[in-house]
């Protein structure tokens, strides 16, 4: 069955990657494409393939007849998209990062009425990485210091990345810690000896780096590094399409990519 998808932020880098991936997959169709009012992309065809819809800004109109909406924009826009999906009864796939706790709570509330997949990284590889990090943390325990290094392009507006934070949560949970209490987001000057129960984050921004993440477990005499490097936004788009098919016709609920890949019960 063909999945009719609404693409948000269709004029941006990730939006274009999503449009291209949908156009290349016979199981999906770009039902509508959205961008913010005033965007120079408004009124243009969403892609080069024949029959592509024009990019618009009317969310409610775009959702009529749609099966799923995919959102990789910014928190403010995502909240409007989620609210519109809730009103229309359309499933929602959210790859946006940088949400406040209050915004996350509102999304969870919407998920009591519509199916929602929300993940800071839609990559299949990163989803597997999360499992590997949790397993490594449980096996290595408190004798190994945990540090997370992430790199992204110069245009990324939030730091650390949502993926880095999710990796930190995976490690912290496996170690019986609360990331809110043990995270260290920057070091400068005379910091004193490292607290062994902390989880450190380092952020790199520059150029056109799509997304690199490394979780370092440093022990005495050895270290274990688990790394994922994305070389194309297509990997995120492909994961988002799998999530869009997952929400099609599904009962309300809040899911992540582990559910989409069938890993949640492992």
Active-site annotation, residues: 152, 156
Binning the chain into helix, strand and coil, the percentages to the nearest 5 are 35, 25, 40
Backbone angles phi, psi at 221, to 5 degrees: 90, -5
Note the helical H segments in 7-46. Answer: 13-23
Q: Which helix (H) or strand (E) holds 87?
A: helix 75-88
Would you call 138 helix, strand, or coil by DSSP? Answer: helix
Q: Which residues of 120-155 are buried (b: 16+ CB within 10 A; e: fewer)?
A: bbbbbebbebbeebbebbeebeeebbbbbbbbbeee
- Compute how many other C-beta atoms are within 10 angstroms of the C-beta atom of residue 61: 11
Which residues are CB-contacts of 157 (< 8 A; sequence separation ≥ 6)?
Answer: 74, 98
What's the rounded Cα separation, in Å, for the pair 165 and 249?
31
Largest alpha-carbon pair distance within the chain? 62
């Amino acid at each position: 069955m063909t999945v009719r998808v609404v693409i948000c932020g269709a004029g941006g880098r990730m939006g274009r990657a999503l449009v291209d991936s949908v156009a290349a997959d016979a199981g999906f169709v770009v039902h509508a494409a959205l961008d913010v009012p005033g965007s120079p992309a408004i009124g243009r065809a969403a892609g080069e393939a024949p029959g592509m819809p024009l990019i618009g800004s009317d969310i409610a109109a775009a959702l009529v007849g749609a099966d799923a909406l995919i959102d990789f924009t910014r928190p403010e826009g995502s909240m409007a998209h989620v609210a519109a999906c809730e009103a229309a009864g359309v499933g929602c796939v959210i790859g946006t990062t940088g949400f406040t706790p209050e915004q996350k709570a509102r999304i969870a509330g919407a998920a009591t009425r519509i199916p929602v997949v929300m993940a800071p990284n839609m990559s299949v590889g990163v989803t597997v990485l999360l499992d590997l990090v949790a397993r490594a943390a449980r096996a290595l325990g408190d004798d190994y210091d945990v540090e997370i290094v992430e790199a992204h392009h110069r245009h990324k507006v939030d730091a650390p990345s949502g993926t880095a934070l999710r990796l930190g949560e995976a490690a912290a949970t496996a170690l019986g810690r609360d990331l809110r209490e043990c995270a260290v987001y920057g070091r400068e000057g005379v910091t004193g000896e490292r607290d062994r129960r902390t989880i450190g984050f380092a952020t790199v921004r520059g150029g056109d780096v799509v997304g690199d993440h490394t979780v370092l477990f440093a022990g005495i005499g050895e270290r274990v590094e688990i790394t994922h490097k994305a070389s194309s936004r297509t990997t995120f788009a492909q994961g988002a399409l799998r999530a869009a098919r997952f929400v099609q016709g599904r009962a309300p609920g809040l899911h992540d990519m582990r559910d989409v890949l069938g890993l949640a019960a492992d």
